[in-house]
């Protein structure tokens, strides 16, 4: 199967900001000896059969979520509050986003808006 | 990807294919009630009468798609173009009801425009599908297909006494809903139709069906009822849709709605058992040409009924 050039994935500037925020968080947690998650914690969400799996996920602040499209049809990942948005993801393309602050982040595939998911970020 | 043999029994698959692979059927829509005139045995549409308006609908070319369900979508489009260029009566124009591209990439739009120019007609009217608006709404699409230079992906024109309306119903969605026309476009449509007499035949182009076929797959338009309310007073309205890669129809009063075959790959029937999502269906290579096709539309002068002739690539 021929694959298209992957063209999604990273936001360099946002990634840098997230890395800095994670460093600050880590430093703060070290000082106060709290149980902050280790920097670089990662979770995976699969896009398959026109659905996000898992559809609902709860992660700690600082977690990076990586979405991968396994369908032959393009999909996208776009937050309802516009805090993150991928470009169109062809087969095997990935998109990642680091969730810094707590909150509930509803998102959809803008190509197929009936596809919904939610990320809960909790300490 | 859906591979039918892997998901349902061979008998079920053959049964399913049998419903998809019939010869082209000639439809006439008289008084808002469609009536099958019979199948075209050799697959070639009957010639229209002199002076009648004839145009062709193609849809869902998905230029850029190269997966197993159809590794050569440009080849499929060129086969269709051969059929169109060979029609006994040259069509006035061609309409393309969306998903011109697969991934909204500039090179896909460029390739599509280049190949569509091989059709020997004066013009091809396109509307965007959701595959044409992936990253930046209709902006990228309009760089290649801004038909009237207004920078809008909806438009109207008149030809031979028929009023044509092209719509964009693939954006304006809310969380978890179907896509919609949106308030701006509904307002535009109201204003556009205000200048059209109720006796004028109207042909509406919209990518996603303007009636709800299968909501769990987004096969419908969230605010189609508002558009239908504007169209209902007219004596002859024909809505031509794409998106679902198969021929279905519905009649509401004087409004006849028809979906069309794709030129790229088949999709499951609405909510088809054994297939949980509307992804490309891979069939044996020899079957593909029976599932793709074009549609000729004849508007007979003096009658408010349109004859639709669907012809598969294999005929």
Q: DSSP characters for A103-115? A: EEEEEE-SSSTT-
Q: Choose, out of B7, B138, B176, B271, the residue to mutate when testing the contact with A (most A CBs < 10 Å).
A: B176
Q: Do A72 and B103 touch (CB under 8 A)?
A: no
| Pair B79, B284: CB distance under 8 Å | no
Helix (H) or strand (E) run with residue B165 in it? strand B162-166
C-alpha dihedral, A17 to A20 to A24 to A26, nearest 10°: 110
- Would residue B305 be called left, alpha or beta, if left means φ above 0 and alpha means ψ between -120 and 50 degrees? beta
Tell me the pLDDT tens digit for each residue of B157-179: 999 999 999 999 999 887 788 99
Q: Are B181 and B223 in contact (CB under 8 A)?
A: yes
pLDDT at A106 exceeding the cut of 90: yes
Q: How confident is the model at residue B27 (pLDDT cuts 50, 70, 90)?
A: very low
Q: Which residue of A has its CA nearest to B133?
A: A111
Best to test chain B binding among A113, A116, A119 (most B CBs inside 10 Å): A113
For domain A12-121, give the CATH number. 2.60.40.420
Region B219-246: what's the mean pLDDT? 97
* Whole-number pLDDT of residue A111: 94
> Could you give the 3-state DSSP secondary structure of residue B102?
coil
**Residue of chain B whose Cα is closest to the Cα of A51:** B277
Which among B131, B178, B279 has the least Cβ separation from residue A114?
B178
Q: Does A114 touch chain B (CB under 8 A)?
A: yes
Choose among B64, B134, B174: nearest Cβ to A76. B134
Distances from the Cα of B181 to the Cα of B116, B178, B188, B215, B281, angstroms: 26, 10, 10, 16, 28
pLDDT at B16 over 60: no
**A17-24: long-range contacts at Cβ-Cβ below 8 A with a sequence spacing of 24 or more?**
A18/A98, A18/A100, A21/A62, A21/A100, A22/A62, A22/A98, A22/A100
- Which one is predicted more confidently, A8 or A116? A116
Q: For residue A95, what are the CA distances in angstroms to A43, A56, A64, A69, A104?
A: 12, 17, 10, 9, 19
Interface contact A51-B71, CB threshold 8 A: no
Where on the phi/psi map is residue A62: left (φ > 0), alpha (ψ -120 to 50), or beta?
Answer: left
Q: Is there a contact between A116 and B216 if contact means CB atoms under 8 Å apart?
A: no
**Chain segment B187-209, per-residue pLDDT in tens:** 999 999 999 999 999 999 999 99
Q: What is the pLDDT of residue B73?
A: 98
Nearest CA in chain B to A81: B175
User: Could you state, in order of their start, the residue ranges of all structural domains in chain B?
Assistant: 2-33+50-312
Who wins on pLDDT, A60 or A5? A60
Q: Among the CATH numbers 3.50.50.60, 3.40.1160.10, 3.90.25.10, 3.60.21.10, which is that of B2-33+50-312? A: 3.60.21.10
Q: What is the mean pLDDT of chain B?
A: 86
Interface check A106 vs B, CB under 8 A: yes
> Chain B partners of A73 at a C-beta cutoff of 8 Å?
278-280
Sign of CA dihedral A18, A23, A28, A34: positive
Predicted-complex ipTM score: 0.82
Note whether B267 and B250 are within 8 A (CB): no
Which residue among A2, A49, A88 places its CB closest to the CB of B277? A49
Choose the mutation target among B64, B65, B67, B283 for the interface with A, i.e. most A CBs under 10 Å.
B67
- Read off the tokens for B9: 């029994």
**Residue A34 predicted with pLDDT over 60:** no
CB nearest to B175's CB, from A76, A80, A112: A80
Token duo for residue B258: 């028809």
Is the pLDDT at B11 greater than 50, yes or no? Answer: no
**pLDDT computed for residue B176 by the predictor:** 80
Where residue B50 falls among pLDDT bands split at 50, 70, 90? low
Q: Are B162 and B203 in contact (CB under 8 A)?
A: yes
Q: Which of A46, A89, A110 to mutate to test the interface with B (most CBs of B within 10 A)?
A: A110
Cβ of B218 within 8 Å of Cβ of A80? The answer is no
- The whole-angstrom distance between A45's CA and the closest CA on chain B is 18
Q: Which residues contact B88 (CB under 8 A, 6 or more apart)?
A: B47
For B75, list phi and psi in degrees, rounded to 5.
-60, -40
Check residue B5 and give its pLDDT: 41
- Count other C-beta atoms under 10 Å from residue B52's C-beta: 17
Q: Do A2 and B71 touch (CB under 8 A)?
A: yes
The verdict on A79 touching B (C-beta cutoff 8 Å) is: no
B270, B244 contact by CB (below 8 A) = yes
A76 interfacial to chain B (CB closer than 8 Å): yes
Measure the CA–CA gap between A61 and A66, rounded to whole angstroms.
15
- Confidence at residue A38, expressed as pLDDT on a 0 to 100 scale: 59
Q: Which residue has the higher pLDDT, B267 or A37?
A: B267
Residue B24 has pLDDT above 70, yes or no: no
Contacts of B66 in chain A (CB under 8 A): 2, 4
- Does the distance separating the beta carbons of A50 and B131 come in below 8 Å? no
pTM (2 decimals)? Answer: 0.82
Nearest CA in chain A to B67: A1
pLDDT in tens, B306-315: 899 999 999 8
- E-assigned strand segments in A24-115: 42-47, 52-53, 56-59, 63-69, 78-79, 94-99, 103-108
The band of B49, judged by pLDDT with boundaries at 50, 70 and 90, is low
- CA–CA gap between residue B219 and residue B257 (Å, rounded): 14
Taking 80 as the threshold, does the pLDDT of residue B146 lie above it? yes
How do the domains of chain A map onto residue ranges? 12-121
Alpha helices in A2-59 (DSSP H): 12-32
Across the interface, do B131 and A106 touch by the CB < 8 Å criterion? no
A63 to chain B, any CB pair closer than 8 A? The answer is no
Residue B129 has pLDDT above 60, yes or no: yes
């Amino acid at each position: 199967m021929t694959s298209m050039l992957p063209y999604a994935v990273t936001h360099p500037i946002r990634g840098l900001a997230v890395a800095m925020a994670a460093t600050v968080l880590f430093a703060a947690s070290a000082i106060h000896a709290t149980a902050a998650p280790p920097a670089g914690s990662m979770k995976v969400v699969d896009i398959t059969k026109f659905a996000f799996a898992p559809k609902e996920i709860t992660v700690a602040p600082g977690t990076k979520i990586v979405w991968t499209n396994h369908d032959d049809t393009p999909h996208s990942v776009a937050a309802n509050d516009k805090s993150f948005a991928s470009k169109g993801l062809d087969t095997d393309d990935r998109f990642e986003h680091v969730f810094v602050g707590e909150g509930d982040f509803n998102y959809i595939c803008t190509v197929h808006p009936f596809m919904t998911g939610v990320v809960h970020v909790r300490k | 990807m859906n591979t039918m043999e892997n998901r349902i029994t061979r008998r079920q698959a053959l049964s399913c294919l049998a419903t998809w692979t019939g010869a082209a059927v000639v439809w006439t829509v008289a008084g808002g009630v469609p009536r099958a005139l019979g199948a075209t045995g050799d697959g070639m549409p009957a010639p229209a009468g002199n002076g009648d308006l004839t145009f062709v609908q193609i849809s869902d070319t998905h230029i850029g798609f190269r997966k197993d369900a159809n590794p050569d979508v440009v080849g499929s489009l060129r086969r269709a173009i051969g059929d169109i260029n060979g029609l006994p009566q040259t069509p006035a124009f061609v309409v393309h009801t969306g998903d011109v591209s697969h991934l909204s990439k500039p090179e896909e739009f460029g390739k599509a425009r280049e190949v569509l120019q091989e059709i020997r007609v004066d013009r091809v009217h396109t509307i965007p599908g959701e595959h044409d608006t992936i990253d930046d709404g209709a902006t990228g699409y309009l760089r290649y297909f801004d038909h009237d230079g207004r920078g809008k992906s909806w438009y109207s024109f008149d030809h031979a006494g028929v009023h044509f309306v092209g719509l964009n119903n693939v954006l304006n969605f809310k969380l978890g809903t179907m896509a919609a026309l949106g308030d701006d476009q509904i307002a535009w449509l109201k204003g556009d139709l205000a200048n059209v007499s109720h006796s004028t035949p109207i042909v509406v182009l919209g990518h996603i069906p303007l009636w709800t076929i299968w909501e769990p797959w987004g096969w419908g338009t969230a605010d189609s009822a508002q558009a239908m309310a504007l169209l209902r007073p007219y004596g002859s309205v024909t809505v031509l849709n794409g998106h679902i890669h198969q021929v279905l129809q519905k009649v509401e009063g004087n409004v006849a709605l028809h979906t069309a075959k794709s030129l790229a790959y088949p999709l499951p029937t609405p909510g088809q058992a054994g297939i949980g999502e509307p992804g490309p269906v891979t069939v044996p290579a020899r079957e593909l040409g029976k599932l793709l096709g074009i549609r000729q539309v004849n508007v007979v002068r003096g009658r408010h009924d349109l004859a639709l002739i669907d012809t598969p690539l294999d005929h």
